[in-house]
Amino acid sequence: MRRLFTAAFASMIAGVASGLFYREFTKINGFPEGEATQLGLVHTHLLVLGFIVLLIVLLLEKVFALSESRLFGWFFWLYNAGLVLTSAMMIWHGCLTVLGQESS
């Protein structure tokens, strides 16, 4: 249960930090304000998929004791690894877009 809370809190911090990074990185590089980039979506993905979903799983753990299943460990680590990989690739692609480089 503590592991879920820690992961949710870390995702919240990373989500807020990614929003700050998006705002400052685009401002420093003179990127037009209305143009879309994947960098702006990282904030939302981390807050919803990392923070909100893990808080829901935390509530389900409290009610149904999910961690007693041997598959819970697999779920926890695969879910968080997928979240980190997805966020990292979105940041990478978004930074390349802001810098005007190709991502191929």
- Note down pLDDT in tens along the chain; length 104 residues: 899 999 999 999 999 999 999 999 999 999 998 788 999 999 999 999 999 999 999 999 999 999 999 999 999 999 999 999 999 999 999 999 999 998 76
Name which of 50, 33, 45, 31 is nearest 101 in CA terms: 31
Helix axes 2-28 and 53-64, enclosed angle (nearest 10): 180
Please, what sign has the CA dihedral across residues 40, 41, 42, 48?
positive
User: How far apart, in whole angstroms, are the C-alpha atoms of residue 16 and residue 42?
Assistant: 10
CA torsion sign, 59 to 62 to 68 to 69?
A: negative
Two structure tokens written together for 67: 């961690």
